Amino acid sequence: MHTMIMYFNWFTTAFIMYGLALSWQNLTGGLFLNFLIGTILDFPAKTLAMVLVLKKGRKYPYMIGSAITGVMFLGTLFIERDVYPGNWPIVVLALIGNFSTTLCFAILYMYTGEIMPTTVRAAGVGSSSLVSKVGGTLSTTVAALADIHPAIPTLIFVTLGLLSSGLTWFLPETKGRKMPETIDDVERLTCCAQERNPGNGED
């Protein structure tokens, strides 16, 4: 279950990140300036991710970041286009969504490595990265869907972002916890990262 959820999270973050990069013009009516701003936000997003995983953990920052992504794109559906100069309210919400998606992607690398047991850690992280490439590849369809209706890509972003946030609830928190060494170590964990059979001296 942990692996399937992680696969979905990797797919979602890659699909939204690359799909947004490929659909800036259809989404906001602009292209170069919006793309430039989104690129500039990449560094502060990853810096914030680093601070959050050190201070607050992995699970809840990811859940909140993914939920923010979904809510921001949901908000763009209620803003009428071509009313404001440069559609700036839509641009702002989309940039916040892009920021939180980048943050989530940065968290996933650490979170996935810590949630996978040592015996399959390399394969787990590698296969998760492979799934993200599938999401990135399928994101090329976003522009084509936007040609049908501009709201279609946004609805997909909303659905994936909120669903990813909800599914992550079933993953354990890994901050301050000994990394699992075997499959059995993982199976002793619940979604709240409490061991089912305590007494081994670990928190």
From CA 58, how far away is CA 53, in angstroms rounded?
A: 5
CA dist 27 → 60, 98, 107, 203 (Å): 29, 12, 26, 47
Residue ranges and CATH numbers for the domains of the chain are 2-187 (1.20.1250.20)
Query: What amino acid occupies position 97?
Result: G
User: Mean pLDDT per 10-residue run, the chain (203 residues)?
Assistant: 94 90 64 73 91 93 95 89 78 88 93 89 92 91 81 90 95 86 74 46 43
From CA 73, how far away is CA 107, in angstroms rounded?
A: 21
pTM: 0.84
